[in-house]
Amino acid sequence: MSDIRLYNSDDDEVVSGLRALYAAPAGEGYWNELEARIMARVADVELGWWTELDRWVRPALAAAAVALVAAGFAMFSAHRAEQEIAAESMLTAPAVPVSTAIRPTLQDDREARIRFLFGR
Amino acid sequence: MTAALALDSDRMSLPMSDVRAEERALVVAAQRGDAEAFAALVRQHQRRAYAVCRAIVLTHEDAEDAVQEGFLHAFKALDRFLPDQPFGAWLYRIMANASLDLVRRRKVRDADELPDTVPMPFRDPGESDELRRRLNLALTKLTDRQRSVIVLHDLEGFTHGEIGAMLGIPEGTARSDLHHARAALRRLLKDVRSDL
């Protein structure tokens, strides 16, 4: 502590005078009563909706995190089930007639052009 | 011996780290809504809180009001307090703010009827004492801040830094306020000493 105290005897007298002027009540009963008054006022305090909200923030965040993990797991399971169904349906698919597409030949193109020119 | 006195003497015999740990546990419990823990904090700090408020306001009654207001503010703000910080320093800043608010409100209300002496405190043991009467009068010649600084420093033992934090002023200002307050009191009391 770097504080400079009053250092002469006159100042000591001043300090003792100040001490008397600012003396706190000494009786233990006074302090018990003050404590009771403070606690009575504290008990009446309405903490307000924001304080209530503040109290629920952590549980709400934890619940949100759990819900997120559960939703992710559910989505993953659903996706996996879909894939399994798709693979199974491919493996067990009934034989269907395969239609083949026949690519037009150049010969056909040429004939078409001639028909177009002569048709004009 | 009362329960509170027993508690105080028990605490005084504990090492500082244990006192801190005990206080931290009380703060954490109070933050979780334990009213008994908050009551224990009130019990531990109300005397010092009163001294801080009394140094700033003019009367014992105002100091009592400020202490109650201060504890109410502290209770409402408890969720924002970090338990690893010193609780006392935080609480006394709240007490100082509650006292300064009360002084401001009083000034607005009593603007037209300012007393020309500092009202006598609760139980004035020095009413018949000329030096104390003059001291009381001399205190009215100081600014509110100078008076608060000299009482907080010379009677309550707070450091300049702690006083600065409580009153919202730089440490250097607290130091110079103390210097000026002492000089003014010495000057004002010089005559009465020679008369006595």
Range 8-37 of A in CB contact (< 8 A) with B: 10-11, 13-15, 17-25, 28, 31-32, 34-35, 37
Q: What is the pLDDT of residue A4?
A: 46
d(C-alpha B72, C-alpha B74), whole Å: 5
Q: CA A93 → CA A80, A87, A96, B176, distances in Å?
A: 20, 10, 9, 95
Q: What is the pLDDT of residue A63?
A: 92
pLDDT tens digit sequence for A22-50: 888 888 899 999 999 999 999 887 666 66
pLDDT band at A95 (very low <50, low <70, confident <90, very high): low
Per-position b or e across B156-187, b if 16+ CB within 10 A of its CB: bebbbebbbbbbebeeebbbebbebbbebbbe
Q: pTM of the predicted model, to two decimals? A: 0.64
Region A83-89: mean pLDDT is 87
Q: What is the pLDDT of residue B6?
A: 45
Q: What is the pLDDT of residue A108?
A: 72
d(C-alpha B120, C-alpha B136), whole Å: 8
Candidate from A88-92, B55-59, B97-101, B145-149 with smallest mean pLDDT: A88-92
Question: How close A45 comes to chain B (CA, Å)?
Answer: 8
Q: Is A90 on the interface with B (CB under 8 A)?
A: no
pLDDT tens digit sequence for B114-134: 455 555 444 444 444 677 788
Q: In this prediction, does ipTM exceed 0.85?
A: no
User: Within a 13 Å sphere around the CA of B145, how many CA atoms are in the beta-carbon half?
Assistant: 17
d(C-alpha A39, C-alpha B41), whole Å: 11
Question: How close B141 comes to chain A (CA, Å)?
Answer: 15
Region B148-154: mean pLDDT is 92
d(C-alpha B15, C-alpha A29), whole Å: 28
Q: What is the pLDDT of residue B127?
A: 44
